Structure 1
Amino acid sequence: MNRFEEKTVVSEKIFEGKIISLRVDDVELPDGKRAKRELVDHPGAVAVIAITDDGKLVLVEQYRKALNRSIIEIPAGKIEPGEDIAITALRELEEETGYGANKFEYLQSFATSPGFANEIIHIFVAQGLYKIDKPAAGDEDEFIQLYECTIEEAEEMVQDQRIYDAKTAFAILHAKKLLKH
């Protein structure tokens, strides 16, 4: 048993949406006291660090309503029920960028916002990119601008906050390490 474990006493789902659900859990703390936790349940997501043969990162810009602004990110998307994460990642790469990859490998997974959400994002690296003649269409409510940039340009985008999310900042650090070899 984890000495910091919070045991759920009662769990109440308060919202069920297309992507997320919200619940409030009454928990028993390690000291025996009780507290409430407001939690977001999420099916998980994938993201792809796509690197061109000439060492550029493939990024996408899209509007993020939660932030009320556009940001530049690595291609990413939600896992569909029962879908293998590698299939999700390849699908998102194609839909968002029009690229496929000859070399595609899983890198790692991490929690995006563990203080209130159970979303896990699975990161893949795609290299040996090639353009797909007729790529699968993306989501009809998704509007995307494609970018290819150097690591240095991506680092500048982090500095001026055009890149503003953790998964993409992580991707830049990892890509920089990959491209040194």
Structure 2
Amino acid sequence: MSDLKWKTLHSEYVHKGPWATLRYDKCEMPDGRIVDKYYVLEYPNWVNAVAITEEGKVLMVRQYRHAAGIVSLEIPGGVIDSDEEPAHAMRRELLEETGYQFDDIELIATIYANPSTASNQTYCYLAKGGKKVQGQSLDEHEEIVVEEYTIAEVRQLLTENKIAQALHCAGLFYALGKLGQL
């Protein structure tokens, strides 16, 4: 098999922001052809979790997603702070969004949202044995409703295309596989 990786000759930033950065790269393909401007979105890395309470319920969150203009049913998750370990970020996000503490979390997949144009990764976890220890501690622009579902109900939601966030569908797929529930 031939080497398919491109060589980056030059990078230039078009925009740097707290949530997204845009750059373009000048690249050389393995056969010598030059790609003058290949645009890349740099986002922070993300985490998400299929979070199962000690009562066996799957925690889901419902929130408005402005870019798509939808109210989205999702699994808990969020942005990893720059100096934070993914597992710590996941525990923090679970506590902030749901008020549940999870000591048993396992990394089940590392995926890319769109490796063609975006550089970030999402770390997907399976969290088990969650206990409600506090109320939500949401960011300024977050409005999140926490809902509980059985595993069978989550499978039905996936079957009926009721979960629109692709990265969360992937996390659910890996978790259901790990649990023998596909």
Identity %: 32
Q: Which residue of structure 2 aligns with residue 155 of structure 1?
A: 155
Q: What SS does the aligned partner of 2:102 have?
A: strand
Q: Which amino acid aligns with 1:140?
A: E
Contact 1:50 1:127 in 2 (8 A): yes
Give the paired residue count: 179
Q: Which residue of structure 1 aligns with residue 56 of structure 2?
A: 55
Matches within 5 A, 1:63-78: 63-78=64-79
Contact 1:57 1:150 in 2 (8 A): yes
Question: Does 1:174 find its partner at 2:177?
Answer: no
Shift of 1:67: 1.3
Matches within 5 A, 1:3-14: 3-14=3-14
Shift of 1:178: 4.4
CA distance in 1, matches of 2:5, 2:154: 39
Contact 2:54 2:131 in 1 (8 A): no
Q: TM-score when scaled to structure 1? A: 0.89
Listed as ranges, the gaps of 5+ residues in structure 2 are none
Shift of 1:180: 4.1
State the Cα deviation string for residues 17-39 of structure 1 (Å, max 9, x = none).
11121001111112211122110
Contact 1:55 1:179 in 2 (8 A): no
Q: TM-score when scaled to structure 2? A: 0.89
Listed as ranges, the gaps of 5+ residues in structure 1 are none
Contact 1:101 1:127 in 2 (8 A): yes
CA distance in 2, matches of 1:164, 1:101: 25
Matches within 5 A, 1:1-181: 3-35=3-35, 36-134=37-135, 137-180=137-180
